[in-house]
Each structure stands twice: as structure tokens, then as C-alpha cells.
Structure 1
Amino acid sequence: MTAALAAKKRGLNVVVIEKSRYFGGSTARSGGAIWVPNNSVILGAGVPDSAEQAATYLSNVVGPEIPKDRQQAFLEHGPKMIDFIMDNTPLRFQFLENYSDYYPHFPGGLDIGRSIEAIQVDANLLGAEKERLNPPYMPMPPGIVMYSADYKWVNLAGVNVKGLATGIKCMLAGLRAMALRQNPQTMGAGLAVGLRLGLMDAKIPVWHNTPLLDLVQDGDAISGVVVEMHGVRTTIRAKKGVVIGSGGFEQNAEMRNKYQQQPINTKWTVGSKDNTGDGIWASEKVGAALDLMDDSWWGPTVPVPGQPYFCLSERALPGGLFVNKHGKRFVNEAGPYCEVVHVMYEQDKSDDGSEIPTWMIVDQRFRNRYLFKDVPGRFPIPKFWYESGVVKKAKTLHELAKDINVPADALQATVTRFNGQAKKGVDEDFGRGNNMYDRFYTDPAVKPNPCLAPLEQGPFYAFKIAPGDLGTKGGIVTDARARALRSDGTVIKGLWAAGNASAAVMGNSYAGAGSTIGPAMTFGYIAANDLADL
């Protein structure tokens, strides 16, 4: 949508081809954060960022594998893209204050973060098109208007005054919207609605239920697409070229099995169900090189049948830990979610399948205090979670160990050691709570380390943790102008790519909240302007 809007504003004739009956893709299902350093929103909020500081940080995060000119293109054009969106859509953004960069201790990292999110948008402005908004992967409770910035505190509503106040604020905002007969959308849905309104205002058509079948090639240049429209194979010619923004291949079992490490499962992703790699394989067919195909935007995920839960906040809260099948801790549970799964896979290679699945162990005090997914503290966990085997419950750790098939003595020793460290407030094994990212989703009432509390009050619970993801991050290799490249580095004329259909500028890492959406929008913007300059 960003690419289409930018191209239209440059005077081009544009159409958006959408495979799904919905618009918004995985973005509409997500928290909707946008990571774009040094943009006008964060600078206006007083964030002490600069182009030099951002370049230092990004370089340290992604490493030498990502070409410097691609990194620089993102950093240079990202702030321009944010201003362009605010100038050409109803979208306005706010700073996600204190949502730290994921590696704030790296040179150039910021403890207060660089992420922004869309301010509430009224979906009723879309008219009938609002029914085409892709549903969120975890629906918002009715009558609530909540931002990503609120999510942390709402999680603590049962034990924290600010959490309770935030929950009340979200309910009052919902009541106000109802009184005004609005359909308020925030997070990823708000971003998607705002962009779609921009397309409507610019009179850019969006053709739904129109899957890509092939790319049209004239000589060595791409000159259009072949799609299925109303059941008929149809060719659409493009005078200037094609921008691929079709998302990843997380829902394509064949591609995941081909490119990614086992175990892998399409049932563990929260990516949009239509993301089956169509743009990637169509581009590969015309000679595009692919990279990062073995990687994803990973995160520890509770594999609830039919509704996998990307475990964002719970793993950082005090009173829980991860263990492998040997009953031992192996990672900083509160660290960047992508990194946690990387460790799961790395250790799985070197051992005998010990990290997958992993189990998150918590005690009754944890369950009494904190929200887990959409289950409030003290409320019973749904019965079908137990029936599916993703949750186990036992009076003692020894009984729990038997239920999850780990050595009881090892689990007891792990919890005993963890409890001692929690009471001292220092995780000597993995450094949990040593930086501001670790501490973002924690409980400030817990001292001396808000990430750490002992597991002492039975019964005890074990949640199965699988290597889930927000989507895949491998795809078409592109240059700093978002042009698709062949394996020899030459440009495929007429073909550009952005988002999860392209190999991520983040490489194998993850700089901060919104490192998927920020670069996707930026390189869509770059692609459109490069195309228009032809």
C-alpha cells in the first residue's frame, strides 16, 4: 500500500493486486509497531536520536552481511516515508515510549527505543470496505481501545495501580468511540486502515481475490503479471514495472521443509494464512536470487491448536523459566524473541532434540498475578489447552517433570538454583534483566530484579513452547533501490520487492519493535520512487 501510494503521488497509474479477500496481510494482524530511526515523530517527542547514532546501532545489529548501502537507504528514506504517509493519509503516529531497542547495550542503542505506532483510526470511514480488514490474530476485547504502549500495563492490571488505570483508560476510550459511533482501530489494524484510506483518497484500485500466477517477461525485463481473476487467467501489463509486496512463505509447508531447519510447522506461525510465498517463487522463476530463506521473525510460541500464541510478555515476567527436555535452563527467557528461538535451534543441532519443544514453567503465584494470552490471573486456563497437551499442571515439580517427560531431579535442581538467583536479583547464568529490553514487560513491584521471582507456590504449570514466528524473513535479494537482483548481482529490469517477500535488511537479527513493518514500508516507498524516476 505504501508503494502504491508513493507511485500514484508521482503521477503513475497504479493497481494493487491482492490475493486475499482481505487487505492488510500480517500487518493488520500484528501489534503494528514501526521501527524507523531518526523520524520526525520520535524527534518531536524528544528522543535523542541522530542519523549517525542510528547507523552505528543498525550496523552492530545486522553485521557485515547486509550491504552498507542497503542499511543507509533504509535509514535515509525511512524518515521521509513516515512524513510522506502523514502527508497523504489520515495516519498520525505516536512514540512507543520506553519500548527499548532490542539490543540497547549495543553502540548506538537506545533504552527508550525508536518505535512508533499509529494513533486510533475510525474504520467506519472505509464504508463497506471495512469488512475486508484482515482480522487480528488475537482479537481485542469488545469496547476497548488499546495501543501497543498500553499492552504492557494492561497485563499488570491485577497487581499494579498504573495497570488498573490503563485498563480503565482503554475502556473509557472504547465507550467514547461507541458514543461517537466510531469503529476504532489501533495497532496493526489501525495502520492498515489508515493506509487503505490513503489509497481510497488517491483513487487507487485494490483488486481482491486475485492471486498471482506468474510474472510476464519481455526479453530480460518484467512487463506485467499473470493473475487469476474471477476464475479466469488474466494478464495485466505494467508500463513501468512490478513491485512484489506479497509477504513471506510461512504458510507454505513445502517451502518451509525445503529451506528451514526441522522441526518446523505451519501451525506455529501467526502470519496471514495467504502468505504462501507466491511472489518469491514467481520471482525466482525469472532469475531472482534468494537469501535468508532459512530464517524467520521467530518467537517462542504456545502451539494452541488453531490459534498459536506468540509469547511476547509472559516469558519476561517474574516467576517463570524455560527448560529443555533435560530439565535445564538454556537461555535468557526475556531476551529478544527472535534470539530465543535461534538459541533453541542452535542447541537443538548440537544436542539430541533437547530444546524443541521447550517448556515454560511457572507457579501458582505467577498464574494468580498475570494475564497469560487472554486468560486473566486466577481465571482457569481453557480446558482444551490441557486436552491438546500444550499445558500441564501438577501439585509438585516432581509430578510436573513426569508429565512433561523431563528428569525430576534435574528440574528440581534447576528451579532451586533459579530461585536462589531470583532472591538475589541476579541471573548469573544468562543475565536476565540486565538491560532495559529485558525489563520492558516486567513487574516493577518485584524487587530487586523485576524479571526474577522464585517459583515456590504450587501447583506448578508447564506451557509447551515451539519455535513459532510472525512470518518468514527470507526472499528476493534486492539492492539499495529495492530492485530485484540475480545471483550474479545484475538487476532484473522492471522488478522491485519489499517486505517479507524480500531478504530482510535486518539480516538474521531484529533491531527493535517494528523491524518488519518499518523496513517493509520504507523499501516499498523506495521502490515506487525509483520506478517513477525511470
Structure 2
Amino acid sequence: MAITVEYDVVVVGAGAAGMTAALTTARSGLDTVLIEKASVYGGSAARSGAGIWVPNNDVLLAAGVPDTFDKADTYLAAVVGPEVPAERRRAFLTAGPRAIAFLQRWTPLRFAWMQGYPDYYPELPGGMPNGRSIEPQALDANVLGDELAHLNGPYQASPPGTVVHTVDYKWLSLIARHPRGVATATEIVWRYLQLAAQGQKPVTMGQALAGGLRAGLIAAGVPVWLDTPLLDLHVENGRVAGVVARRDGAETLIRARRAVVIGSGGFEHDERMRKQFQADPIGTDWTIGADSNTGDGIEAGERAGAALALMDDAWWGPMIPLPGEPWFCLSERTLPGTIFVGRDGRRFVNEAAPYSDVVHVMYDKGHIPCWMITDQDYRNRYLFKDLAPLLPYPDDWYSSGALVKDWTLAGLAAKTGVPAAALKSTVDRFNAQARAGRDPDFHRGDSVYDAYFADPTNTPSPCLAPIRLPPFYAFRIVPGDLGTKGGLLTDARARVVRPDGSVIPGLYAAGNASAAVMGHSYAGAGSTLGPAMTFGHVAGLDIAATG
């Protein structure tokens, strides 16, 4: 081994978890280095909408949100069940507000309440119908200097000359239906003009979050080594004492006097691991996680003796396999005038349910792929992806097989391979229910969450509209994800543990490289990023405190 360097702390992975951990140890006075295998930093966080689910934080309380620790604990216990130890669940709820306060102190990040975006199960005890998620406000990317060029790009870029927040999409989808849609479209341009006039270069959502964390590292003097993949952990006398990485083409031992933190993301882009741990059909084509997430840190931890958990699960969501990159079907499936049907031509799920739940049902009932059925009325009314209402769907959506169209339901059934009689019967039944404003079959619209991305101008239900105006459309739906949620098993202090529960000295993990504190569920918008940053912060504080 040609090169050896030494730091107090080595952090692997420049996503939200890793950057928060590195900033925490650096601000605790520890000499810290962060390594990242990709040529860009930010990971999946930079690509995200950057919703952050951290209950009872100062941002929420300042906005008048009536949240408490006990209320959040009651809710999270109901959501995740007994699979996640209460100690770890409560560690997240205790440390989360402190992590948000820490980031607002030591980075240029400022957060705002995502008002009205409900918890995903708001009717459960402790659930909040008006939501407890937050998101970054616009960040002036000038603070990054030359490092802006190394920021991982967004999943979907905002239109040029706009400043768009995650909460704006609800109304932009309704631009042809609701006055607030037009008002929001005007506001996102006005925001940009105001900030640009001040010489700012505004970025939002995941770009703001990752950029703000990187700016914090710059101010703290933390070196970030890009293009430096982890090869393995370095173990001495049973303790993780560093990492072996490849830097500038040379194998390098980076010794860690205190600890190593694994924040290298999940394994969504590793075909072998997905087929080993997850149910068929599965692969790497339907994920929108960062390309560099191939499970390196998870496998290195396992070689060091770590236990793994939740490896069969992911942060699922129904995906349309559009050409170039799959599209995460969020508001599109929730707006009125759509249904999901399986290969038998029948509905099988509440289409507006939390996206992870929808995919769990797709797997449980064997409806992969399934089809989202809509009509021309739906196309005339709503934004779809970045396609304005009324405009025709692109030709390559059809040629790729992601979308089929026909002037009759029978013709649509023939093109999708579902029984024509069953499809017609399903649509007829759904249309009658939509006209009545109730879905007794799957209860779409019964939860406050169902209505968030729906259409308040549609009556009698904002969630239900008949499918009746030809031509008819069918979008192919596959089980996609934002990333995997299984990984190294950790305790309440973010320390990695062995199968017998004992701690591996010197090894910590956070983010999607660790088994999620959400278990098999999903509490609300930002249930990935909130715990990732929180346990990155927890790891950093524990390393600093234990010496």
C-alpha cells in the first residue's frame, strides 16, 4: 500500500448523512475527511425534493405547528410498529430537532414548514393532517464558488428563470383548474427576479440542501475527496481504524484515530445485490437514486461483521418507465380521473395511498407491471410531469411502450393485454363511484393524505372523476424507488452492531447505508432525509463524546 494518511474521523459518502456527520465532527474539533466515489457530491439528496421529516423542530414550532415529542412518538410507534426498537425511534425524535438547529447554525441553510403536506397516515394517533415536514428555502449558489460545478444534478430541474419549492408542485399541477395554480406560476418567476436582481444564483429543493451542506463543510475546512471510492474497511485488533480507498489511481490507507462513518447510500444500482435480497421482478432500471449507490459501504461493513436488516425493502414508488429515465408517479396517480388495474383488468389498490404502500400491494398481489388508465379529460386538465395540460404526450412515450392509447376501452385492453370485459366493468363501476363521490372498494379519498395532490375544484370528490372521454390512455407502472432502505444495523447512537447485538468499535452508519428507522413504512415527506441527517449528527456527536 503506497500511501497512508491519518485523520480523527473518516466519513464515507457525500450525501446528506455523510455531510452532516462530517460537519458535526469538524465543528466538535475533530480532524475530519470525507471521501466520495462519484465525481460529484450530494448523492440522492441533491436529486430529491428535499422534504425533511423531523418532528417537533424549531422551524415547525416557530410556524405555530402544535407538535410535541409525545405526539410524534405516538405517531411513529403506530407507523413503524415493533420492528424498530423504541430506543432507536426515540433517539431519532430527540436528536432530530437538535440536528436541524445545528445545521441552521453552521450552514447557510434555512428551512420552512411545508404547510398542508400531511403526514402519510394523518388519521393515526399523533398524525398531523397539516403536516410536520420542512424543506430548504432558496440558497444562493454563489456561496459554493467553484464547488457548484461538482454538485450532483437534480432529478427534474426547475424551469429556467424560476424558484420552485416542493410545495409549489401541488398548485402547478392545477394551473388549468385553480386560480392558485396561475398565482403560483407567477410567484415562482417573481421569486427568481427578486433574487437575481440582488445578484443571487438561487437553487432550491435537493440542490439547496446538498449545496448548503457543502458550504458548511467549506466553512469548517473539511476536505471532500471526490473520485475516491471505498475499497474496504481497515480493522486493527477488532476495531475499525480507517478505510482503504482509491485516490488518484493509488490504493490509499486513510487511518481514523476515532472512527469511520458509513454514509455511502444504498444498493439500488447494484444488480447482484438487488436480485440477492429483493423480490422479483427487480433490477436497477426503475430506480432514481444516485448512480453511485451500489452498496459498497454496506458490503464493507458486512465483511467487518455487521448485521444487516431490511434488505428486502426500498423507498418504493410507482414508476413510469419513460425513455431516458423513469418518472416517479406522485401527483399524476392521485389526481382525479385515473385508476390502476392489474393484469386481470381490475382495480387492486387505493391509487392515492402513500407511494411505498402502493408498490407493496403491487408485489403482494403480483400486479407487476400494472396500468394507470386515464382519458382525454384528464390530459386536458392537469400538468403531467413537465407537460402542460392539453398538449399531446410525446411520441417516444408510445414507442418505448410506457404509454398506449386507443379510442375505445376494448382497444386499450387489447394493447395492454388485459381482459376487455373486465376493464370495461372496472371503469363502469369506478365511474359510478366517482359520480357519487365515494370509493367503497379501496377508500380513495377517505384519508386527508389522499386529497393533497388531488383537485379541490372537482366535485363531489377532489379525488375521484369518471374516465369517459376518448381517447383513453394506459401508462405502464412498475415498482420503482428513491433508493433502498436496508443496510447496516445500528443502535440508538448510530453505532454499527453485529448479529449478536454487540457494537463494532469505531464503526458508525447513517442514511441509506443503514437499516431505516422507519422500518417497512414511511411516516411522511422526508422520511429518508430527516433520519439520515439526524443519525449523521448523532454519529458525529457520539464520536466526539467518546474519545
**TM-score when normalising by structure 1:** 0.98
**Within-5 A mapping of 1:62-211:** 62-211=80-229
User: What is the aligned partner in structure 1 of residue 510 from structure 2?
Assistant: 498
Measured after TM superposition, the shift of residue 109 of structure 1 is 0.3
Report SS of the residue matched to 1:127: helix
Tell me how far apart the structure 2 counterparts of residues 283 and 400 of structure 1 sit (CA, whole Å).
49
Confirm whether residue 374 of structure 1 aligns to residue 386 of structure 2: yes
Confirm whether residue 56 of structure 1 aligns to residue 74 of structure 2: yes
Measured after TM superposition, the shift of residue 138 of structure 1 is 1.2
Structure 2 letter corresponding to 1:365: D
Report SS of the residue matched to 2:241: strand
Confirm whether residue 10 of structure 1 aligns to residue 28 of structure 2: yes
Measured after TM superposition, the shift of residue 179 of structure 1 is 2.9
Gaps of 5+ in 2: 1-18
Is contact 1:267-1:306 (8 Å) kept?
no
Gaps of 5+ in 1: 349-354
Structure 2 letter corresponding to 1:311: C
Tell me how far apart the structure 2 counterparts of residues 178 and 14 of structure 1 sit (CA, whole Å).
35
Q: Deviations over 1:290-335 (max 9, x none)?
A: 0000000000000113211001111110000100011000000000
**Within-5 A mapping of 1:382-461:** 382-461=394-473
Q: Deviations over 1:175-213 (max 9, x none)?
A: 233333322111111111111111111111100000000
Report SS of the residue matched to 1:225: strand
Q: Deviations over 1:319-378 (max 9, x none)?
A: 001000110000000000000000000111xxxxxx100100001000011111111111
User: What is the aligned partner in structure 2 of residue 517 from structure 1?
Assistant: 529
**Within-5 A mapping of 1:247-396:** 247-348=265-366, 355-396=367-408
User: What is the aligned partner in structure 2 of residue 351 from structure 1?
Assistant: none
Tell me how far apart the structure 2 counterparts of residues 45 and 363 of structure 1 sit (CA, whole Å).
41
Tell me how far apart the structure 2 counterparts of residues 526 and 41 of structure 1 sit (CA, whole Å).
20
Structure 2 letter corresponding to 1:425: G
Measured after TM superposition, the shift of residue 137 of structure 1 is 1.1
Tell me how far apart the structure 2 counterparts of residues 322 and 226 of structure 1 sit (CA, whole Å).
48
User: What is the aligned partner in structure 2 of residue 481 from structure 1?
Assistant: 493
Measured after TM superposition, the shift of residue 105 of structure 1 is 0.8
Report SS of the residue matched to 1:152: helix
Tell me how far apart the structure 2 counterparts of residues 173 and 45 of structure 1 sit (CA, whole Å).
21
Tell me how far apart the structure 2 counterparts of residues 52 and 531 of structure 1 sit (CA, whole Å).
28
Measured after TM superposition, the shift of residue 382 of structure 1 is 1.3
Aligned residues: 528
Report SS of the residue matched to 1:533: helix
Tell me how far apart the structure 1 counterparts of residues 48 and 283 of structure 2 sit (CA, whole Å).
20
Measured after TM superposition, the shift of residue 383 of structure 1 is 1.1
Give the superposed CA RMSD.
0.7
Tell me how far apart the structure 2 counterparts of residues 91 and 169 of structure 1 sit (CA, whole Å).
21
User: What is the aligned partner in structure 2 of residue 352 from structure 1?
Assistant: none
**TM-score when normalising by structure 2:** 0.96
Tell me how far apart the structure 2 counterparts of residues 140 and 276 of structure 1 sit (CA, whole Å).
28
Tell me how far apart the structure 2 counterparts of residues 306 and 22 of structure 1 sit (CA, whole Å).
20
Give % identity: 57
User: What is the aligned partner in structure 1 of residue 15 from structure 2?
Assistant: none
Tell me how far apart the structure 2 counterparts of residues 144 and 307 of structure 1 sit (CA, whole Å).
23
Q: State which drifts further: 25-34 or 122-131.
A: 122-131
Tell me how far apart the structure 2 counterparts of residues 114 and 295 of structure 1 sit (CA, whole Å).
25
Measured after TM superposition, the shift of residue 219 of structure 1 is 1.3
Tell me how far apart the structure 1 counterparts of residues 460 and 59 of structure 2 sit (CA, whole Å).
34
Tell me how far apart the structure 1 counterparts of residues 515 and 44 of structure 2 sit (CA, whole Å).
17
Structure 2 letter corresponding to 1:28: A
Tell me how far apart the structure 2 counterparts of residues 265 and 365 of structure 1 sit (CA, whole Å).
34
Structure 2 letter corresponding to 1:209: D
Report SS of the residue matched to 2:340: strand
